[in-house]
A and B are shown apart, each in its own frame.
Chain A
Amino acid sequence: MAHYKLRKAEPEDVTDILRLIKELAKIVEKEDQVMLTEKDLLEDGFGEHPFYHCIVAEVPAEQQKVEGYSVIGFAMYYFTYDPWIGKLLYLEDFFVMKEYRCLGIGSEILKNLSVTALKSGCNSMHFIVAQSNEASINFYKRRGALDLSLAEGWRLFRIDKQCLLNLSAEE
Chain B
Amino acid sequence: MNFIIRAARPEDCKAVERMIMELAVYERMPDQVKISHKELERDGFSQNPFYHCLVAEVPEAHKSTEGHTTVGYVLYYYTYSTWKGRCIYMEDLYVMPDFRERGIGKALVASIAKVGTEQQCMHLQFSVLDWNKPSLDFYMSKGAQDLTAKEGWHLLRFDGVALIKLAQEAP
- Taking Cβ atoms with an 8 Å cutoff, the residues of A that contact B are 21, 24-25, 30, 33-36, 40, 44, 49, 51-52, 76, 78-87, 90, 92-93, 104, 107-108, 110-111, 114-115, 117-118, 122-132, 137, 140, 143-150, 152-161, 163-168, 170-171
Which chain B residue shows the least CB distance to A45? B80
For B32, the closest partner residue in chain A by CB is A84
User: Across the A-B interface, how many residue pairs have beta carbons closer than 8 Å?
Assistant: 259
Partner of B89, one of A49, A80, A108, A152: A80
* Majority secondary structure of chain B interface residues (helix, strand, loop or mixed): mixed
Within 8 A of A (CB), among B105-139: 106-107, 109-111, 113-114, 116-117, 121-131, 139
Closest A residue to B47 by CB, please name it.
A49
Kindly identify which residue among B50, B153, B167 contacts A87, using a CB–CB cutoff of 8 Å: B50
Chain B residues within an 8 Å CB radius of A158: 123-125, 144-145, 147
Task: Please determine whether B83 and A104 come into contact, CB atoms closer than 8 angstroms.
Answer: no
**B-chain residues with CB within 8 Å of residue A127 when the two chains form the complex:** 155-156
Pick from A30, A108, A124: contact of B158, CB below 8 A: A124
Q: Is the CB of B164 within 8 A of A118?
A: yes
Q: Is A83's CB under 8 angstroms from B117's CB?
A: no
Task: List 5 tightest A-B contacts by C-beta distance, closest first.
Answer: A144-B162, A163-B143, A131-B152, A167-B113, A168-B114
Q: Which of A144, A160, A163 contacts B161 (CB 8 A)?
A: A144
Which residue of chain A is the closest to B156 with respect to CB atoms?
A145
Pairwise interchain contact A170-B106, C-beta atoms closer than 8 A: yes
Contact A157–B84 (Cβ < 8 Å): no
13 contacts between A and B (CB under 8 A): A36-B84, A78-B78, A81-B75, A82-B91, A83-B20, A86-B50, A118-B164, A153-B131, A155-B129, A155-B147, A160-B122, A161-B123, A163-B144
A161 to B129 alpha-carbon distance, docked (Å): 23
B7 within 8 A of A: no
A160-B114 in contact (CB<8A): no
Instruction: Tell me if B50 and A21 are in contact (CB < 8 A).
Output: no
Q: Which one of A87, A114, A153, A164 lies within 8 Å of B117 (CB-CB)? A: A164
Do B157 and A126 have beta carbons less than 8 Å apart?
A: yes
Asked if B77 and A81 make an inter-chain contact with CB atoms under 8 angstroms apart, the answer reads yes
Q: How far apart are B116's CB and chain A's nearest CB, in angstroms?
A: 5
Residues B145 and A157 in contact, CB atoms below 8 Å apart? yes
| Beta-carbon contact of B117 and A168 below 8 Å | yes
Q: List, in ascending order, chain B residues with CB within 8 A of A171's CB.
A: 107, 110-111, 113-114
